[in-house]
Structure 1
Amino acid sequence: MLIHAKKILDFIMLSAQAPTLTEITEGVDISKPTVLKILTTLEFLNFVYRDEVNKTYYIGTAMIGYSEKALSGLDITKIAKPYLTKIRDITGETVHLGIEEHNEIVFLEKIEGNRSVALKSRVGGDLPMYCSSMGKATLATKTKDEIEKYADSVDFLPRAENTITNKARLLKEINDARKCGYAIDDRENENEVMCIGAAIEKDKHVYGAFSVSVPAYRMTPDQQQKIIDLVLDAKAKISKQV
C-alpha cells in the first residue's frame, strides 16, 4: 500500500496541472477504488489537498515539514550554498546542487539566477546521470568497474537535441571529466541549455555535485572559461570544508 501511495504522490507532484481522480487512476495504473481509498487517507493526513470545486488534488502542506527536515539534515547544502550563491551573483545564472540517488541526480538546491531562462529543474526532482554535468562529474569519481556497470544498465533515452545515446561517448566524456575536474552538459538534458558541473569529493567520498546552467547563446568561449574557473574554485573550497 505504501508503494501505491508513493506512486500517487509522485504522479500529483509531477503533473503540470492538479489532476482529477480519473487522471490519477489512469496515470498510476491502479484501480479507482484503491486510489480513492489511498487519497482519502492522504487527505486526512494533510499529505494531499482536494479542491472541492474542481475535484482536483494537490500536494498537501504536511509534505513541507518533511522536505524541510530532510534538507536541513544534509550538511552539504549548508556548506555549499554560500559558494554557489556567490557563483550565481557573479554570473547571474542559475546554480544547482544535487546528490546521486538510485543512478539519478536529485536536486537539493536551486539558486535562481537573475539572467536565467525558465528551467525544468526543481528541488526534489531528478535527472539521469548520463546527460547531466553533475551526473557525469559524479560518474568520473567512480571506479572503472562501477562506471561499466552503470553504462551497461542505463537506457540512453534522448531528452534533448544533443543527448548522449551510446556508451562509447559517455565513457569518453567521463574520462574527460576525470582529467579536468569538471563535466559539461552541452544541450543534452534541455534544448539550448548548457551546464558546467563538478563533484564534491574528499577522501574518496562523494558528498554531492553542483552545476551552473546557462542558455547556449550566452555561453561564449570567454564566459565558459569564466564559469569553469568559478566551478573549480568553489569545488576546491567546498571540498575543504566537508
Structure 2
Amino acid sequence: MSVKSAVRVMEIFELLSEHLEGLTVKEISVSLSLPQSSTFNLVQTLCRGSYLTQTGVKKYKLGPGLIHIGSSAMDGLNVHSEGEAHLRELMKEVQETVFMAVLSEDKLVYVSKLEYNRSIRTGAKIGSKMPLYCTGLGKAFLTFLSEQKRDHLIEEQDFNKITENTITSKSALLEQLRIYSEQGYAIDDEENEEGLYCLAAPVFNARQEMIAAISIAGPKFRMLPNKESNVQRLLSVSERISKNLGYTKS
C-alpha cells in the first residue's frame, strides 16, 4: 500500500469515528474529496480485515478488527504512564538502572529507561529491540505469558551465544523458566552483556494478561550483595503498577 493510500485509510478511520451510524462510500468519498472508485476499493479491503463493517443499508462503520488494536495501544500507554513514577522511585531506592519493556512479536522493546548517576552504562536504548532468551526482561515474558504463547516464542528464538553465560539450548532455558515461575522473577546473569546482572518481574493488566516487564540492572559485583532487598523492591513495584492497571490475583 502506498503512503497516499495509508493516509486515506487513516482519514477514513477518523471520519467514521465521528459518524458512528456509518457512511456510504459516496458520503466518504465526498467528505474526503476522494475518487469514489478508489474509496470503494479501500473500504472493501478494510472490510475484509474486519477493520470496517457494512450495515444493511450499505453504510460502513468501524469494525471489530480495530478493538484489539485500540485495546493494545491503550494498554501500552497506560502501563507506561502508570509505571513511570514508580520506576523513578525504584531507581532512587536501588541506585541502579531500571527498565520497562513490552513485547513486540518475538522480541522485547524498551519503553522506559531510568539511569542513576552511578549506573552502569548499557547498550539498551528506548525503542530498541532485544531477544527474549538472554535478557532478564525477555525471560520474564517467557516465564509469565501463557504456555501456548511461551512455546511459540521459544520456537522463534535463534539461541545465538552472546557471552560465555548465554544459554543456547531450549531445555536449559525451560529449566530456568521453571525456577523463575516458582520464585516470581527472572534473572539475566551476564547473558547479554558481560558484567551486567539483571532482575526482572512481570506487570499484568485487568484481564490478568502480562503486558510489560520491569527490571533492575547493574554491575554484578554490586547487584549480588543487594539481591534480596532489590528483589523485594522490584516485586513490590511490579505489583503496585499491576494493581493500578486493574489486576487482581485470582
TM band (smaller chain)? 0.5 to 0.7
**Aligned residue runs from structure 1 range 115-194, under 5 A:** 115-194=118-197
Deviation at 1:210, TM superposition (A): 0.8
Q: CA deviation at 1:134?
A: 1.0
Distance 1:115 1:100 in 2: 28
Alpha-carbon deviation of 1:115? 1.5
Report what 1:228 is aligned to. 231
Report the CA distance between 1:176 and its aligned residue. Answer: 1.5
After TM superposition, what 4+ stretches of structure 1 lie above 6 angstroms from structure 2? none
Question: In 2, distance between residues paired with 1:108 and 1:143?
Answer: 22
Q: Paired residue for 1:90?
A: 93
- TM-fit CA distance, 1:215: 0.4
**Aligned to 2:144, what secondary structure does the other structure show?**
coil
Equivalent runs, 1:198-213 vs 2, <5 Å: 198-202=201-205, 203-213=207-217
Q: Which amino acid aligns with 2:84?
A: K
Cα deviations by residue, 1:48-91 (Å, 9 ceiling, x for unpaired): xxxxxxxxxxxxxxxxxxxxxx99x7121110111111111011
User: In the alignment, is the contact (CA less than 8 A) between 2:106 and 2:156 conserved in 1?
Assistant: no
TM (norm. structure 1) is: 0.67
Higher Cα radius of gyration: 2
Following the alignment from structure 2 to structure 1, what is the Cα–Cα distance between the partners of residues 106 and 155? Answer: 12
Q: Which amino acid aligns with 1:126?
A: K
Is 1:217 equivalent to 2:228 in the alignment? Answer: no
The residue type equivalent to 1:99 in the other structure is V
Per-residue displacement from partner, 1:96-138 (whole Å, max 9, x unpaired)?
A: 1110001111000110112212110100001111111111111
- Does residue 105 of the first structure (1) align with residue 115 of the second (2)? no
Alignment partners' CA distance in 1, 2:145 and 2:112: 23
In 2, distance between residues paired with 1:135 and 1:154?
Answer: 11
Alignment of 1:31-70 (within 5 A): none
- CA distance in 1 between counterparts of 2:134 and 2:153 reads 13
Instruction: Give the TM-score normalised by structure 2.
Output: 0.65
**Paired letter, 1:128:** P
CA distance in 2, matches of 1:94, 1:125: 16
Query: How far apart, CA to CA, are the structure 1 residues paired with 2:145 and 2:101?
Result: 17
How far did residue 207 of structure 1 move?
A: 2.0
Aligned equivalents of 2:91 and 2:145: distance in 1? 28
Contact 2:101 2:137 in 1 (8 A): yes
- One-letter identity of the residue aligned with 1:206: M
Any stretches of 5+ residues in structure 2 without a counterpart?
Answer: 3-72, 246-250
Structure 1 vs Structure 2 CA RMSD = 2.2
Q: CA deviation at 1:198?
A: 0.6
Asked if residue 76 in structure 1 is aligned to residue 79 in structure 2, the reply is: yes
2: distance between equivalents of 1:145 and 1:75?
25
Structure 1, unaligned runs of 5 or more: 3-69
